[in-house]
Amino acid sequence: MRIILAFLAVVTLGSFVRADDAAPPQSSREKFLKLIDRPRVPLNPEEKEMPAPAPGMVESHIAYSTEVNQRVPALVIKPADVKPGTRLPVVILLHGTGGKKENNLGLMKSLVAKGFMAVSPDGRYHGERTTQSGTKEYYAEIAKAFKDGQSHPWLYDTVFDVMRLIDYLETRPDVDPKRIGLMGFSKGGMETYLCSAADPRVAVSIPCIGVQTYRYGLENNQWKGRIGTVQGAADTAAKEAGVPIDSAFVKRFYDHVVPGIDTDFDGPAMLPLIAPRPLLVINGDSDDKTPLPGVLMAADAARAAYEKAGVPDHFVLKVQEKTGHKVNPDSTQQAIAWFEKWLMPK
């Protein structure tokens, strides 16, 4: 049985066995796994060969199921000259809000040129997984979640899909399941650290322009940049609730749509759970979506965990100077080198 499924089984069993008030408190990881868990369906993977993206590389389009009515499309690129029986290190790449799996093609090819397999899935209600242009359906689903709480299309559902992607990758004979890396941008950066904290099968993590503390934003009136990334959903939810978009509403919005994101699942709570696995955090010093003081608070919590684990060199924070919400070319190269350092040795 896979590690993560076994862990979930223990959490579920514990919720029935320890019903008394004296039960030990659950960790952020246990709480998160319990929150995002839902009935699984068979993966039923399909793979279709695509034209080569570059000389010496092969590309395929895959699709796999995660839960009822959820089929995830993804791109897979790997070196063409892989010997039979070779198991490759893998890097999963997650796009940001309004993006799609194809946005990562350039980075995928750079990683494959170094000897990795690269995989890029579409997030919920993005790319092939939306019937409308842009973010209309995505925002509509988030607004719906604010009302009924039946799903978590902002962040959490995609984290579940990524964990199921790892389930799929473990079945491939050309994948080394002990050498799986995860990297994401903005929305994908948040999904990266949440997934890495929850799933120990992620061996190396690089969350980009996503690490932060939501609580800091709420308490210091610096929430506008972050809520602006889902502004359409917030506007709809506030209008239907008949209230203005202020810090009180944003707190309520978080509690309904991404419960725990400013408490148990905030950056300072989740980043330490990645230790001792290698973690490179990339943020801009002028990013209004991830205010720098909050980034530093999350990084301090992570650094303490890595020092306690005796591996301080496994954690690096790169703050890009004079940079807003983007990843600079030198940071991308540092990210590739980070994966080479920790995933390529064999």
SS3 88: strand
**How many whole angstroms separate alpha carbon 196 and alpha carbon 206?**
9
Long-range CB pairs of 302-309 (<8 Å, 24+ gap) are 302/271, 302/272, 302/274, 302/275, 304/272, 305/271, 305/272, 305/273, 305/274, 305/275, 306/275, 306/276, 306/279, 308/275, 309/275, 309/276
Q: Nearest Cα to 160, choosing from 126, 124, 131?
A: 124
- For the segment 81-121, what is each residue's pLDDT rounded down to a tens digit? 989 899 999 999 999 999 999 999 999 999 999 999 999 99
The DSSP 8-state label assigned to residue 83 in this structure reads P
Question: Is the per-residue pLDDT at 251 higher than 80?
Answer: yes
Q: Nearest Cα to 192, choosing from 225, 158, 165?
A: 158
- pLDDT grade for 2, boundaries at 50, 70 and 90: very low
- pLDDT grade for 15, boundaries at 50, 70 and 90: very low
Copy the structure tokens of residue 287.
């990013």
Copy the structure tokens of residue 202.
């992620």
The DSSP 8-state label assigned to residue 82 in this structure reads P
Question: Is the per-residue pLDDT at 10 higher than 70?
Answer: no
What is the topology classification, in CATH, of domain 46-343?
Rossmann fold (3.40.50)
Amino acid at 151: S
Overall residue count recorded for the chain in this entry: 346
Question: Is the per-residue pLDDT at 257 higher than 50?
Answer: yes
Domain boundaries defined on the chain: 3-36, 46-343
The DSSP 8-state label assigned to residue 122 in this structure reads P
**How many whole angstroms separate alpha carbon 240 and alpha carbon 162?**
32
Instruction: Please name the residue ranges forming H helices in the chain.
Output: 3-17, 28-36, 105-113, 136-148, 156-169, 187-198, 214-219, 224-227, 231-241, 247-257, 267-270, 292-308, 329-343
The DSSP 8-state label assigned to residue 185 in this structure reads E
- For the segment 261-297, what is each residue's pLDDT rounded down to a tens digit? 999 999 999 999 999 999 999 999 999 999 999 999 9
pLDDT computed for residue 346 by the predictor: 63
